[in-house]
């Protein structure tokens, strides 16, 4: 598919800017369970297991248990962010990790981030989709605004068994980042039809975060086409070169009215227009 070769070209041609700091301690379990609070019988699997770790030599699962959990509580104010910055509404939380399962078993794992006040009372949370996979690593990733009053972030992963003796919900390469909310760039798109799903934003490399629809869509005469103003939100980790290449490709597609091409771009979170 064209978009795959285009994405590869961006990777090869552009030097990506530095990533934001992962606030989690021991996110890949290379130091065992150091830094993590656990419930249930949480154990490590190694590079001799199926599947191999996503990275490093370890990942976690539940041994002879119907469920398990791991979590970390992160003090935001000791992680380089002031109370004024946290309460300003200009920060957001990026979180996720790589999940897998064992062959065709349907044991599920779910990642959640919770925002807690100074007394550890919950202000709000966001849970990612609970998934299982056939011995294949899948990245689960989400973004949520950092709520006013947040002083701690709780990252948690819960595994639930549906068959067998172990809870084969695997987690590796977990991450939790706080960053500035990206500024949107708007594009006028001529799109055919009234029920288009555009997929935009790179979950894997996080160069483009998402599309939003700040001003809605205006139907043209006859109802066959419409003009939509979309906000293209770049990740702070996207380099100038990457942004330019993505803009150029997006402009080429939209100027040609290639709605089907937009639908197949596979750059992240789907937004129904």
pLDDT at residue number 48: 72
**Integer Cα distance of 184 and 212 in angstroms:** 9
- Answer whether residue 269 shows pLDDT above 60: no
pLDDT at 47 over 80: no
188 CA to centre of own chain: 26
Minimal CA–CA distance to 126: which of 138, 139, 115, 140? 115
- Examine the pLDDT at 273 and tell me if it is beyond 80: no
Residue 184 pLDDT greater than 60, yes or no: no
pLDDT over 50 (residue 13): no
Structural domains in the chain, CATH included, are 37-180 (2.60.120.260), 182-272 (3.30.70)
Q: Of 136, 242, 262, which Cα lies nearest the Cα of 190?
A: 262
**Residue 187 pairs with which residues in a beta bridge?**
230
Long-range Cβ contacts of 47-55 (<8 Å, 24+ apart): 50/102, 50/103, 50/135, 51/100, 51/135, 51/136, 51/137, 51/170, 53/28, 53/172, 54/98, 54/100, 54/137, 54/172, 54/173, 55/28, 55/98, 55/172, 55/173
């Amino acid at each position: 598919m064209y978009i795959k070769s285009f994405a590869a070209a961006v990777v090869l041609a552009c030097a990506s800017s530095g990533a934001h700091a992962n606030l989690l301690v021991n996110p890949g379990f290379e130091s065992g369970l150091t830094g993590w609070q656990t419930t249930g019988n949480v154990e490590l699997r190694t590079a001799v297991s199926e599947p191999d770790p996503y990275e490093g030599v370890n990942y976690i699962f539940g041994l002879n248990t119907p469920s398990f959990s791991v979590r970390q509580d992160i003090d935001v104010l000791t992680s380089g962010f002031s109370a004024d910055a946290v309460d300003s509404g200009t920060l957001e939380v990026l979180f996720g990790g790589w999940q897998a399962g064992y062959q065709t078993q349907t044991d599920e794992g779910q990642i959640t981030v919770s925002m807690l006040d100074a007394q550890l009372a919950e202000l709000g949370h966001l849970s990612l989709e609970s998934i299982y996979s056939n011995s294949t690593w899948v990245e689960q990733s989400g973004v949520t605004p950092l709520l006013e009053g947040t002083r701690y972030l709780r990252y948690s992963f819960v595994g639930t068994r549906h068959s067998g003796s172990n809870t084969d919900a695997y987690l590796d390469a977990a991450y939790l980042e706080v960053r500035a909310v990206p500024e949107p760039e708007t594009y006028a798109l001529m799109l055919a039809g009234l029920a288009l799903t555009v997929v935009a934003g790179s979950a894997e490399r996080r160069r483009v975060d998402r599309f939003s629809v700040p001003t809605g869509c205006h139907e043209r005469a006859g109802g066959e086409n419409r003009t939509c103003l979309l906000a293209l939100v770049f990740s702070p980790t996207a380099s100038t070169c990457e942004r330019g290449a993505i803009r150029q490709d997006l402009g080429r597609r939209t100027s040609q009215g290639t709605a089907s091409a937009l639908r197949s771009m596979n750059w992240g979170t789907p937004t129904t227009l």
